[in-house]
């Protein structure tokens, strides 16, 4: 039985003003007219310093293959290096990983892809768009959450990034070395300099080293472990996986929809489901990850089973479960596929979609 995911608490956020929307749409229209995807690829990245916070966003132009035109702004060094990790993994990367990278995105869609709220803003601004792939669409991507409407500060920074793209893209067309990344991780970054009463955007070369590993606090109750240690080992192996459910969930219409993650435990010989639980990415994705070992331990204790071996294919899940496995003397086995679990998961997703 699939349990209800934990509630994600709603957070109040300021919506963009009509003037902020106007500036954003004007910048997007100019970017669309420039069509930088005709000579830029996703990996031709440059940084933009947020004038309000000093934080860096990294601009990537999508659409070189002529299928989907968009401009993404990856937020911070962690997002930048997650992007490079995806590029390196190629088709092998799980498709949901892109949804776990914080970014802002301006894309150009068919009218049918817009929601009522998007069309209302366009109507208020008195704008008109015609044809396929002509309608600007703006979304904020946060790890574990459905791409959603922009908040005011996000709209302002996305506007800034698009305007800097208008400066950088034509120069890159003339000089391909402009966006070369040095061996010591130095990127071109556009930053605002104040001269007296004037504000001037300038090129800087900024080193952006890989960020330190994310801190994940593992939660493990010692009393729970003591109870599990008394359980007789009764199965040779279990398949365990943690995967995103690609259907948005929320408890009230006011909340930002999130993607729940399914912690699934399957006995591989019989394909019998020993446990399944939906976890919400609250308050953060890292906090949810930290709960996974304890949730797995609770499920094992509930069914009274302790395996000799747990098979996982995700390096992250293997890392999360390492402390639990050590405490209980369970062998963690990395595998390329989880055939029984995948079969069960396909049936579950089919049922949820119905």
pLDDT value at position 10?
43
> Does 11 map to a domain?
no
- In the chain, how many domains are there? 2
Give the neighbor-by-neighbor strand order of the sheet with 258-267: 272-279, 258-267, 233-249, 306-312, 331-334
201 and 64 in one domain? Answer: yes
Q: Given 176, 207, 238, which residue is the final one in a domain?
A: 207
pLDDT value at position 173?
98
Per DSSP, 255 falls in state S
Distance, CA of 76 to CA of 207 (rounded, Å): 13
- Residue 250 belongs to domain with CATH number: 3.30.420.10
Per run of 10 residues, the mean pLDDT along the chain (length 354 residues) is: 39 85 98 97 98 97 92 98 93 85 97 96 96 96 95 98 98 97 95 87 96 90 94 92 90 85 95 94 92 97 95 95 96 95 88 68
257 and 196 in one domain? Answer: no
Distance, CA of 30 to CA of 48 (rounded, Å): 18
Counting every residue, how long is the chain?
Answer: 354
Question: Domain containing 279: what range?
Answer: 222-353
87 and 25 in one domain? Answer: yes
143 and 166 in one domain? Answer: yes
141 and 252 in one domain? Answer: no
> Does 26 map to a domain?
yes
pLDDT value at position 354?
64
300 and 188 in one domain? Answer: no
> Does 104 map to a domain?
yes
Q: Encode 182-208: b = buried (16+ Cβ within 10 Å), e = exposed.
A: eeeeebbbbbbeeeeeeeeeeeeeeeb
Which residue intervals of 5-125 are DSSP H helices?
A: 18-34, 76-89, 116-125
pLDDT value at position 9?
42
314 and 229 in one domain? Answer: yes
Using an 8 Å Cβ cutoff, are 82 and 101 in contact?
yes
Distance, CA of 269 to CA of 339 (rounded, Å): 10
Q: Given 177, 207, 237, which residue is the final one in a domain?
A: 207
230 and 193 in one domain? Answer: no
Using an 8 Å Cβ cutoff, are 285 and 217 in contact?
no
331 and 260 in one domain? Answer: yes
> Does 187 map to a domain?
yes
pLDDT value at position 353?
67
195 and 242 in one domain? Answer: no
> Does 330 map to a domain?
yes
39 and 174 in one domain? Answer: yes
Q: Given 207, 234, 268, which residue is the final one in a domain?
A: 207
Per DSSP, 144 falls in state T
Distance, CA of 166 to CA of 31 (rounded, Å): 6
pLDDT value at position 13?
73
> Does 217 map to a domain?
no
Single out the residue of 20, 53, 348 nearest to residue 191, CA to CA.
53
pLDDT value at position 195?
80
> Does 58 map to a domain?
yes
Paired residues of 205 in beta bridges = 188
195 and 271 in one domain? Answer: no
Single out the residue of 24, 128, 112 nearest to residue 73, CA to CA.
24
> Does 338 map to a domain?
yes
């Amino acid at each position: 039985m699939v349990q209800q995911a934990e509630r994600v608490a709603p957070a109040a956020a300021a919506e963009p003003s009509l003037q902020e929307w106007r500036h954003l749409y004007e910048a997007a229209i100019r970017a669309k007219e420039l069509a930088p995807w005709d000579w830029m690829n996703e990996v031709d990245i440059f940084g933009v310093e947020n004038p309000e916070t000093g934080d860096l966003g990294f601009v990537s132009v999508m659409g070189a293959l002529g299928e989907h035109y968009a401009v993404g702004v990856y937020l911070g060094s962690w997002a930048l290096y997650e992007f490079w990790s995806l590029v390196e993994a190629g088709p092998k990367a799980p498709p949901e990983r892109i949804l776990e990278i914080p970014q802002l995105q301006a894309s150009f869609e068919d009218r049918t892809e817009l929601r009522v709220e998007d069309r209302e803003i366009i109507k208020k601004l008195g704008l008109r768009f015609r044809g396929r792939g002509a309608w600007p669409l703006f979304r904020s991507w946060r790890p574990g959450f459905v791409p959603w409407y922009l908040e005011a500060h996000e709209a302002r920074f996305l506007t800034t990034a698009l305007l800097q793209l208008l400066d950088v893209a034509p120069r890159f067309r003339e000089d391909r070395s402009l966006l070369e990344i040095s061996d010591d991780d130095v990127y071109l970054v556009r930053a605002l300099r104040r001269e007296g009463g004037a504000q001037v955007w300038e090129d800087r070369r900024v080193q952006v080293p890989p960020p330190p590993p994310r801190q994940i606090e593992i939660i493990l109750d010692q009393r729970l472990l003591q109870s599990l240690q008394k359980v007789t080992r009764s199965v040779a192996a279990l398949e365990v996986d943690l995967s995103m459910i690609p259907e948005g969930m929320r408890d009230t219409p006011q909340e930002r929809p999130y993607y729940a993650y399914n912690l699934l435990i399957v006995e591989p010989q019989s394909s019998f489901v020993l446990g399944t639980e939906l976890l919400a990415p609250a308050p953060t994705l890292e906090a949810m990850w930290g709960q996974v070992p304890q949730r797995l331990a609770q499920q094992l204790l509930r069914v009274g089973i302790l395996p000799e071996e747990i098979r996982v294919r995700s390096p992250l899940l293997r890392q999360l479960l390492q402390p639990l496995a050590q405490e209980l003397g369970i062998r963690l086995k990395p595998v390329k596929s989880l055939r029984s679990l995948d079969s069960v998961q396909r049936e579950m997703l089919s049922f949820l979609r119905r």
